[in-house]
Amino acid sequence: MVVGRLVFDFARHSVEKTIRVKQFDSETRNLLVVLLNDGEPYEMPEGAIVRIECRKSDGEEILNDCTYVENLITAEITEQMTAAAGYAECAISVYEKESYIASWTFNIKVDTAVIVGDKIASTIEYKAIINALQEVEKSKDTVEEATILAATAMKTANDTIGIANQVKEEATAAAAASQEAVKVATAAAEQAQNYKGLIEDIYNNIDKLNDFAEEAWLDKSYLGSGYLSETTE
């Protein structure tokens, strides 16, 4: 339920405004606030946090987060905001990194409940701080998870490097063995070539001996006069 609509211009003073609610109302009322800058829609900084600040009539303080879409803010009127009857001074603040800007002050008039009974006691309420601490805890969990993932990735990288080095060593050894095999094969080829030349020389010499023997057989000059084939009966 929307209990009030306010417009604040950061560049122009605004007359103090009052929103009325009932004491002990709980999570049923919202306040809509439009932020302007010199008559133009206020450009919300990237990553900005918007909060509602209140000081209740009993002096207790409220600091809660708001939701927003562009320059339209939705602020929840929580049970603690309505716990103390009377006027609560409030403002909408915008936090962006180290900068801070707040709207002009407005009032929430908390009308006294007809029956008080054992309703909630008025205390401080810092939901914004609680939310921030919860975000810190989430961030810690995220950091721990990221650390574990990083350690796992590092181990995987080291294992991969180890495997790569082993493969490199094996490849180097294989290359060396291959080079040695090439040397042995080259030497064997050279030796075979030498054997081939030697065999060719032997065949040439045999051919020469055959030629010599054939010529000698034909002229029989080396047999002398006693050779039987030359005698007659």
- pLDDT tens across the length of the chain (233 residues): 777 889 999 988 877 889 888 888 776 788 999 999 999 999 998 889 999 999 999 999 989 999 999 999 999 988 888 889 999 999 999 998 888 999 999 999 998 887 766 666 667 766 666 666 666 656 666 767 777 877 787 888 888 888 888 888 888 888 887 788 778 778 777 777 777 777 777 777 777 777 777 776 666 555 555 544 444 44
Closest CA to 64 of 104, 91, 96: 91
Q: Which domain holds residue 14?
A: 2-123
In 3-state terms, what secondary structure has residue 185?
helix
Asked if residue 156 belongs to a domain, the reply is: no
Q: What's the number of domains the chain is made of?
A: 1
Q: Which residues of 83-117 are buried (b: 16+ CB within 10 A; e: fewer)?
A: bbbeebebbbbbbeeeeeeebbebbbebeeeeeee
Whether residue 3 contacts residue 77, with contact meaning beta carbons closer than 8 Å, is answered with yes
CATH at residue 117: 2.60.40.3350
Please tell me the predicted confidence (pLDDT) of residue 35.
94
Q: Does 40 fall in a domain?
A: yes
CB within 8 Å of 144: residues ≥ 6 apart: none
